[in-house]
Copies of this chain bind each other. A is one copy, B any other.
Amino acid sequence: MMKRIITVGTDTSYAGALRDGDPVSQRGTTNRRPTQADVGRLAGVSSGVVSAVVNNRMDGSVRVGREAEARVRAAIAKLGYVPNMAARQLAGGRNDVIGVFTYSPIFPTAAEDFYYPMLQGIEEAAEHAGQNLLLFTGGPVSPEGTRMIYRDGVNSLQLADGSILLGRDSDSEEVRRLSADGYPFVYIGRHTEEHGDVSYVTANYAEATTAAVTRAVGLGHRQVAMIATDLWHPAMADRAEGFHAARAALGLDTAPVYSVPSTDPVDDLVASVIDQGVTCVFVADCLVARAAVAVATARGLRVPEDFSVVSLSDYPGGTDPELNRVTSVLTPTLDLGRVSVSLLVELLTADAREPVSRVVACGFRDGETLARVAA
């Protein structure tokens, strides 16, 4: 077992220093670590001055001259003083730690096609901004298996200077409380004012949906419909809003929006819209798109020659080639991650913490399920 490496000075005025040859029974525990008081004593300054130097707050309430700073730094080197990061945070400093919290019971990597690129964007941007990332994989979990931010009244995100929250099924009460507590955070996903002062990053789902419908109408489709799932969710509500806007702007007679629970099969509904003469259906995600293609094919229709299907989200996609062939609005997951970091860093360094939001543009995959309407 190696001995702790400590530089020991010959300055006899400092009595607290360790002498070479002191017995070492337990690594790092018997050897008392030099404290800020020790550094101050050796440098001939107060602990407050040492703290100001260590935490780079030399132009704050404690003013430190250049000469005193040099003495403190020399004493730090001589004693091998190591500031404690937890102490630095307590002293009002920051540790350059950004937290990532998800309400999903499983950490993002399990949902590879959606959360993973988001996390990747967060990691890239954090690295670029010189921020460490604290993934709250170990937080409290409710009896229902969802993660919680608060346990016994303790905000488990506190160890991070600020956090990025993601996951569809957020706990409004917790988000409100976080906001009321003044904890800096950015939500990925649109939030309404009822959640308190929430800063968020979202995608332009409404505009992207309008653009997708406009494209289909440009290909001759006049009978379109939308099958939405979980319409209570802002991201889906935005898509429905964009669909309605397209109908109004393009002067379509009928363009119904159906809302179904995400757990329900859509086969009968797809069959019904086909019977109504719809030639292009816009659906919530690629799984619904696959189901719609199957229904149309079973009825003897060719996709996309006779019937077009557009997914308003590329989720889930990933490695399934069939799902990746669906013409689809692309969620800008990587960018959402990146922008959430820059927004949070902005919040952390700003004087005032007024809630802010950013909107990121969606992409579009020109897949194989949308074509010019049959003549």
Contact = CB atoms under 8 A, between A and B. Distances in A.
Interface stretch (A118-126, A252-260, A277-285, A307-315): A118-126
A4 B182 contact: yes
Contact of A107 (B124, B139, B152): B124
B86 A1 contact: no
Interface in A1-50: 1-5, 27-29
Interface in A41-86: 76-77, 80-86
B136 A123 contact: no
A180 to B, nearest CB: 5
A142 interface: no
A89 interface: yes
A143 B192 CA distance: 45
Contact of A84 (B1, B90, B110): B90
A107 B123 contact: yes
A138 interface: yes
Contacts of A136: 132
A145 to B, nearest CB: 12
A96 interface: yes
A82 B155 contact: yes
A153 interface: yes
B130 A138 contact: yes
Contacts of A181: 4-5, 28, 82
A154 B83 contact: yes
Q: How large is the interface on A (under 10, 10 to 19, 20 to 34, 35 or more residues)?
A: 35 or more
A178 to B, nearest CB: 11
A373 interface: no
Contact of A80 (B3, B126, B153): B153
Nearest to A131: B138
B77 A153 contact: yes
Interface string A274-313: 0000000000000000000000000000000000000000
A84 B176 contact: no
A95 interface: yes
A78 to B, nearest CB: 11
A85 B138 contact: no
Nearest to A6: B180
Contact of A86 (B87, B131, B133, B156): B87
A196 interface: yes
A80 B82 CA distance: 34
A2 B80 contact: no
5 contacts: A2-B196, A27-B182, A127-B137, A133-B135, A134-B135
Given A4-B182, A131-B138, A134-B135, 6 more contacts: A3-B180, A4-B180, A82-B154, A107-B123, A123-B137, A129-B138
* Nearest 8 A/B pairs, CB to CB: A28-B182, A27-B182, A86-B89, A133-B135, A132-B138, A86-B86, A127-B137, A131-B138
Interface of A: 1-5, 27-29, 76-77, 80-87, 89-90, 95-97, 106-107, 109-110, 119-120, 123-124, 126-127, 129-139, 152-156, 158-159, 176-177, 179-183, 196-197, 353
